[in-house]
Structure 1
Amino acid sequence: MKKIHIALYYLLLQYLPVGKSYNRFSKIWWIIRGITCKKIFKYCGKNVHIQRKAYFGSGKEVEIGDNSGLGINCEIPSNIKIGKNVLMGPNCVVLNGNHEFKDNDIPIIEQGMRPSRRTIIEDNVWIGYGVIITPGRILKKGTIVAAGAVVTKDFPEFSIIGGNPAKIIRMRK
């Protein structure tokens, strides 16, 4: 049954209009996407917003808390954990793997992949437009990630971070 919901999402539902106010049917499509994702994800809280063309692979290990969402065109791995009240802007990418490259005598393409690393996004996090998050990061409670940031390491709770690579801009507390 899960495969049917995944097929339904990727073949049809991901292309339906966005948001609550795009047109009078947009809220219906948004609700239908949410119901379908509840059937796909390991855990899907209440009032979850899955926007147009969000990609989550098989979704089998995705956990997403209440009042959280994936922005338009976001790409997340199928093993991510997202807390409550998380805002994710459009075009964000969360990576969970990387190529192996330690042997200079073997072409990178022949060295395979490093083991997958799970990303955790804790509660009350705001991720801006076009953010890239490298494998295995933990975005701690209350963090704000500025648009276009490349997150390559972990930061303390209530950090405001931005840049490439991301660094602390200031603390919220």
Structure 2
Amino acid sequence: MKRTICLIIYYGLARFLPKSNYPYLGKYAKYFRYILCKNIFEYCGENVNIQRMAFFGSGKKIRIGDFSGLGINCRIHDNTIIGENVLMGPNCYMMANTHLFDSINIPMRNQGRKKLQDQVIFEDDIWIGRDVMIIGSKKIKTGSILGARCVLTKNFPEYSIIGGNPGKLIRNRK
């Protein structure tokens, strides 16, 4: 019941409050969203920053570690694990479904959908740039950087710098 009330307050009010670094009111908005999400998520660590307009469905099975955050206007799904010290830029999106298109005799909009996502895992110390799209189940490894507007379609090793559409290894940080 407490979780449901927190969800209603989050989606009805808190997500519309100013961004966290907004003068004067920002720190209060950040704290208010944090308290709500501690009661919504399966686990919510210390000093977590849930930015304005973040969408996370029902919040079930979401785990977010210390000093991590959800960027402005991001969209994540249930069953997402975010480690510690994860930076997320604005407008990041996890795509969980796609349209079917196998038959050329039926319009694509009438062919239904296919579920892509089982789980997305962000390990520790990751920087996710602005407008990144993650397609399906992925494990983003420790120390990786996903460049702005990257479309992540596969997994990469630790300490990777990934960019482009589709995402390609630019270099390793080690």
- Relative to the length of structure 2, the TM-score reads 0.92
Identical positions, percent? 51
Instruction: Report what 1:146 is aligned to.
Output: 147
Contiguous gaps of at least 5 residues in structure 2: none
Q: How far is 1:121 from its partner?
A: 1.1
Once the two structures are superposed, residues 100-138 of structure 1 have per-residue CA deviations (whole angstroms, 9 ceiling, x without a partner) of 333444443333322352111111110001111111111
Instruction: Report what 1:100 is aligned to.
Output: 100
**1:128-139 aligned within 5 A:** 128-139=129-140
**1:69-108 aligned within 5 A:** 69-108=69-108
Instruction: Report what 2:62 is aligned to.
Output: 62
Structure (1/2) with the larger strand percentage: 2
Equivalent-residue separation in structure 1 for 2:100 and 2:6 (angstroms): 34
Equivalent-residue separation in structure 2 for 1:100 and 1:46 (angstroms): 41
Q: Please tell me whether the aligned partners of residues 116 and 135 of structure 2 are also in contact (alpha carbons under 8 angstroms).
A: no
Q: Please tell me whether the aligned partners of residues 96 and 119 of structure 1 are also in contact (alpha carbons under 8 angstroms).
A: no
Q: How far is 1:3 from its partner?
A: 1.6
Equivalent-residue separation in structure 2 for 1:74 and 1:45 (angstroms): 19
Q: How far is 1:78 from its partner?
A: 2.0
Query: What do you get for the CA RMSD once the two structures are aligned?
Result: 1.4
Q: Which runs of 4+ in 1 moved over 6 A?
A: none
SS of alignment partner, residue 161 of structure 1: strand
Equivalent-residue separation in structure 2 for 1:65 and 1:80 (angstroms): 11
Equivalent-residue separation in structure 2 for 1:25 and 1:121 (angstroms): 30
Instruction: Report what 1:44 is aligned to.
Output: 44
Equivalent-residue separation in structure 2 for 1:146 and 1:168 (angstroms): 10
Q: How far is 1:99 from its partner?
A: 2.4
Letter in 2 for 1:136: S
Letter in 1 for 2:24: R
Instruction: Report what 2:114 is aligned to.
Output: 114
Instruction: Report what 1:4 is aligned to.
Output: 5
Instruction: Report what 1:124 is aligned to.
Output: 125
Aligned residues between the structures: 172
Q: Please tell me whether the aligned partners of residues 87 and 126 of structure 1 are also in contact (alpha carbons under 8 angstroms).
A: yes
Once the two structures are superposed, residues 9-68 of structure 1 have per-residue CA deviations (whole angstroms, 9 ceiling, x without a partner) of 011000111124x22221111011001011111111111100010011111121111111
- Relative to the length of structure 1, the TM-score reads 0.93
Q: Please tell me whether the aligned partners of residues 65 and 82 of structure 1 are also in contact (alpha carbons under 8 angstroms).
A: yes
